């Protein structure tokens, strides 16, 4: 586990933060708001993850912890639509977030955004999104509609 001093070093070198996502994510659960804020800032500025980090990030989607879900979705969305990845599996995991109403709305909104960023959406995901959009709050609905748009 990294310490607070290393967090400061990572702030100077975002590529280090990106390479050490597994060590950073636990800080999002910290009781120390300074650590939480520092890690959020690092994740905001570190860019897109490596394809090899997708399994770890998808596991964070299933954690049920809103900060982890939010940032995992953000990082996955940064992969965009040009990366060669298993979109079906990725979208299935992101749809799982959307259907879990125990997860904070902001994290579910970020999952919808990530789906929209990593198009195209396959038929199974499209059906799931169409069901969710009917009952979604306004902002989530807009994000889902963007994800469904061709």
User: pLDDT, tens digit, for every residue of 66-79?
Assistant: 999 999 999 999 99
Q: Which positions of the chain have pLDDT values less than 70?
A: 1, 4
CA distances from 142 to 80, 81, 114, 117, 147 (A): 19, 19, 13, 14, 9
> 135 is written with which tokens?
């009952």
Give pLDDT, residue 82: 78
């Amino acid at each position: 586990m990294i310490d607070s001093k290393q967090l400061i070093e990572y702030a100077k070198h975002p590529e280090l933060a990106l390479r050490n996502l597994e060590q950073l994510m636990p800080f999002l659960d910290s009781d120390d708001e300074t650590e939480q804020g520092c890690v959020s800032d690092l994740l905001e500025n570190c860019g897109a993850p490596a394809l090899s980090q997708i399994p770890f990030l998808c596991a964070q989607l299933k954690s049920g912890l809103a900060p982890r879900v939010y940032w995992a979705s953000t990082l996955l969305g940064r992969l965009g639509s040009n990366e060669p990845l298993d979109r079906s599996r990725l979208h299935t995991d992101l749809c799982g977030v959307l259907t879990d109403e125990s997860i904070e709305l902001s994290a579910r909104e970020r999952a919808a955004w990530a789906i929209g960023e990593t198009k195209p959406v396959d038929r199974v995901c499209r059906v799931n999104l169409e069901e969710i959009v009917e009952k979604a709050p306004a902002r989530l609905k807009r994000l889902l509609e963007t994800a469904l748009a061709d």
